[in-house]
Amino acid sequence: MSLLTVIYALAFYFAVALFVIGLAVRIRLYAVTPAPLKIPVMPAPLTKTGVVFRLAREVTFFESLFKSNKWTWIFAILFHAGLLLVFARHLRYFTQPVWEWVVLVQPFGIYGGMAMVAGLLGLWGRRIVVERVRYITNPSDHLMLALLALIGASGLSMKFFAHTDIISVKAFCLGLLRFDWQPLPADAPLLIHLGAVIVLFIVFPFSKLLHAPGVFFAPSRNQVDDARDKRHLAAWAAPMDAQRDA
Amino acid sequence: MKHSQQYRAKPEHQEKLGFPGDLVDNWQQKAVEKMGDLLNKNRALRVYMDACVKCGACTDKCHYFLGTGDPKNMPVARQDLFRQVYRRHFTISGKLFPGLVGAKDFDDEVLDDWYKYFHQCSQCRRCSVFCPYGIDTAEVSMAARDVMDHIGIGTKYTNEILGKVHDIGNNLGLPQAALINTMEGLEEDVEEDTGVAVKYPVDQKGADVLLITPSADFFAEPHVDGLIGYGKVFHQAGISWTTSSYASEAANFAMFIGSYEQMHKVANRIRKAALDLGAKRIIFGECGHAWRVAYSFLNTLAGPWDFLDPKYPVPQHILEFTYDLMQRGALNLDPTANDDKVVTFHDSCNVARASRMGDVPGGQFEIPRNVIKTVVNKFVEMDPETTREKTFCCGGGGGLLTDDIMELRVKGALPRMEALQNVVDNFGVTHMAAICAICKSQFTKVMPYYGFSMDMINSVHQLVGDAILLGTKE
Ligand code: SF4
Ligand code: SF4
């Protein structure tokens, strides 16, 4: 077994563990923090089902972003939808036998990869060209785009320029899952690709990528508009009622 | 708008609310502690600190940014004033790589920006409508002001006013005698005008309805015309009502400073008034921030309301009440009384985006329009990009209605003034109706800067009051 394989295998375990634990800690924090007052942004749904639909529209169509800015919306949709397709395509490396639906979306994964990179470049372009957006950009915002672009570009390059031995890659991936390590091909694009993915896993729970779980926890979007019908008393606020005079 | 800032609250105004009188010595440490406390008590703040992706979708949505062009008035830039300190003290990335993620120590310069720019947010929530995660800068502004109050820095405007509420019961400091006097004056005026003896009661035990209205309704123009209108509606519907001198204020300014404790105290004056007077229903007058606290928070802060008549929602908005009467034919109205006007409607930000009326989503948009259209023949809408949930704040909300920052108020009104100009030019609009005391005060003050006359702004219930045929239903 090569040192390279060992390093990548260990790095993967480390990154995935950090990702899962880090994210779980963060999500738990969001979940246990009380929301002391009802603050849905109106017009808001009157039922829980309505809230589910509202959130579903937000995460599938980016409804609010659509209202705000069409260019950002287009690039964001390109990137996220592309990412979804790419993700589906990559499932083939982790399943044996490969699931039927994964086989079916296989060819679209490539277009997904292109869309993803195009979307990223669009978003990056906005960050540079639009003065308002440039003003609010931190170095980490560029780095995040660079990281994702690197993942996309290195992935596409393996498809179009420098083919990798994907049979071995799959063996490596399945080996990781089964704790039975298999050698990783030492191709530069592949190593860059996997290295960047490892970094992505590591930074996820500490970065703005927390918008992914965050969108479900935003009280302005996930609360039911029923403030007149139900008291909504936070545990820390409840004792104040004893102090009121009446 | 770096040069624009409100007067600092004096030590006596701070201490009255239980805050330190002046900037405490170890303020950095105290501020960070308070931030931690708020992060643990308020999920919105916690999530909003992490979730922003700097997409920029909110950047051109704030009326203060549009009016001033100051990049720090972009909603995300305003949040970032809080976020930079949050990152530095509460995140691993900010502790390890501050420069990379825009984290900063809480120093004098940052505090100075906090004081200025968190008081250049009217907490109108327009930015939140457009943010993909619903990040609500109003929540961040409230938290920031709470932190600042806790280290001894508040604004004179809100904190002095809150002291008056605790002492006397309203923002203006009008004692019972002055209220009774004012209301008697109104009774005389209305009788002189119409020949009908409409009552404007104060502290009347056993009245069915307790009316809570912004104290501006008791004396300012055009607010008072709205109060006259409410009285006429109650009169013709034959419903007994009263105001309370103990809780003679609808606008809960504690929301502006983000203090749950203060909001609780002010809201519970209303509970006590309702119990003392034996009221069966509570109705709120025309005021945006007041209605937000009433609709969204009153049940939580001052409920349960099980001693009131369960037939009615608690509280009700005066427009819900009047609209219901209209639908049941309980009011005799003649819209030709308003034929001298071409009216448009300004959705007040807090009513539009933070509350509801009636029992369907969006009732807060439809009910006021339906009421206006019932009493006015010529009604015109402004640009849909500037109405309903996309409405622009008047520029004076959220504790900014003070002459200390007049220039900001004028500039903040720009987007609304442009939309108004448009319907004036194209449809001959002569009046703009509003349902918020702050909007009314702000517009009477800033409209002249845009070449409009200050009496162009009306209370909705003034239009109703003028159309009621008094003496026909008794
Ligand atoms: S809440 Fe309103 S005033 Fe405050 S930043 Fe958002 S748009 Fe601007
Ligand atoms: S729209 Fe929301 S996520 Fe985008 S920059 Fe503004 S606050 Fe951040």
- Please give the ipTM for the structure prediction: 0.96
Task: Give the distance (Å) from ligand 1 centre to CA of residue B223.
Answer: 25
Residues of A in contact with B100 (CB under 8 A): 138-140, 143
Task: Give the distance (Å) from ligand 2 centre to CA of residue A220.
Answer: 14
Write down the pLDDT at residue B22. Answer: 97
Task: Give me A151's structure tokens.
Answer: 């993942």
| Helix, strand, or coil (residue B205) | coil
pLDDT at B353 over 90: yes
Chain B contact for A129, CB < 8 A? no
A26, A32, A41: best mutation site toward chain B, by most B Cβ within 10 Å?
A: A41
Distance of residue A160 Cα from the nearest chain B Cα, in angstroms: 31
Distance of residue B44 Cα from the nearest chain A Cα, in angstroms: 6
Please compute the mean of the pLDDT values over residues B310-336 and round it to a whole number: 97
Q: Is B124 in the pocket of ligand 1 (CB under 6 A)?
A: yes
Hey, which of B45, B53, B79, B129 would you mutate to test ligand 2's pocket, going by the most ligand atoms within 8 Å of its Cβ?
A: B53
User: What is the side-by-side order of every strand in the sheet holding B241-242?
Assistant: B241-242, B209-212, B281-284, B316-317
Write down the pLDDT at residue B101. Answer: 96
Kindly report, residue by residue over A111-157, the tens digit of the pLDDT: 999 999 999 999 999 999 999 999 999 999 999 999 999 999 999 99
Average pLDDT score, chain B: 97
Residues of B in contact with A69 (CB under 8 A): 56-57, 130
Task: Give the distance (Å) from ligand 2 centre to CA of residue A153.
Answer: 27
**In this structure, what is the dihedral angle of CA atoms A230, A234, A237, A239, given to the nearest 10 degrees?**
80
* Percent with pLDDT over 90 in chain A: 98
In eight-state DSSP terms, residue B333 is B
HSE-CB for B155 with a 13 A CA cutoff: 30
HSE-CB for B56 with a 13 A CA cutoff: 25
CATH H-level, domain A3-245: superfamily: Transmembrane di-heme cytochromes, Chain C (1.20.950.20)
pLDDT band at A244 (very low <50, low <70, confident <90, very high): confident
The protein residue whose alpha carbon is closest to atom 8 in ligand 2 is: B52
A214 vs B39, B51, B295: nearest CB = B51
CA–CA separation, A158 vs A156, rounded Å?
5
Q: Where are the domains of chain A?
A: 3-245
Please compute the mean of the pLDDT values over residues A229-236 and round it to a whole number: 96
pLDDT band at B472 (very low <50, low <70, confident <90, very high): confident
Chain A contact for B173, CB < 8 A? no
Task: Give the distance (Å) from ligand 1 centre to CA of residue B123.
Answer: 5
Task: Give the distance (Å) from ligand 1 centre to CA of residue A64.
Answer: 16
pLDDT at B281 over 60: yes
The protein residue whose alpha carbon is closest to atom 7 in ligand 1 is: B62
Q: For residue B284, what are the contacts with CB-CB under 8 A and spacing of at least 6? A: B211, B212, B213, B250, B290, B291, B294, B315, B316, B317, B318
CA–CA separation, A8 vs B438, rounded Å?
62
Residues with CB under 6 A from ligand 2: B 52-58, 75-76, 131-133, 135
- Spatial contact of A225 and B361, defined as CB atoms under 8 Å apart: yes
Kindly report, residue by residue over B360-398, the tens digit of the pLDDT: 999 999 999 999 999 999 999 999 999 999 999 999 999
Chain B contact for A36, CB < 8 A? yes
pLDDT band at B153 (very low <50, low <70, confident <90, very high): very high
Write down the pLDDT at residue B338. Answer: 98
Chain A contact for B69, CB < 8 A? no
Average pLDDT score, chain A: 96
Q: For residue B357, what are the contacts with CB-CB under 8 A and spacing of at least 6? A: B317, B319, B320, B351, B363, B364, B367, B368
Write down the pLDDT at residue B1. Answer: 83
The protein residue whose alpha carbon is closest to atom 8 in ligand 1 is: B62
Task: Give me A97's structure tokens.
Answer: 């036998």
Dihedral angle sign, alpha carbons of residues A228, A229, A234, A237: positive
Instruction: Please give the number of the atom of ligand 1 that sits closest to the Cα of B393.
Output: 2
* Percent with pLDDT over 70 in chain A: 99
- Spatial contact of B312 and B281, defined as CB atoms under 8 Å apart: yes
* Percent with pLDDT over 70 in chain B: 100
pLDDT at B473 over 80: no
Write down the pLDDT at residue B323. Answer: 98
* Percent with pLDDT over 90 in chain B: 97
Write down the pLDDT at residue A246. Answer: 54
In eight-state DSSP terms, residue B74 is S
Which contiguous run of DSSP H or E holds residue B431? strand B431-434
Amino acid, res. A175 = G
A137 vs B54, B97, B134: nearest CB = B54
Write down the pLDDT at residue A1. Answer: 78
Please name which of A222, A196, A86, A218 lies closest in space to residue A144, comparing C-alpha atoms. A196
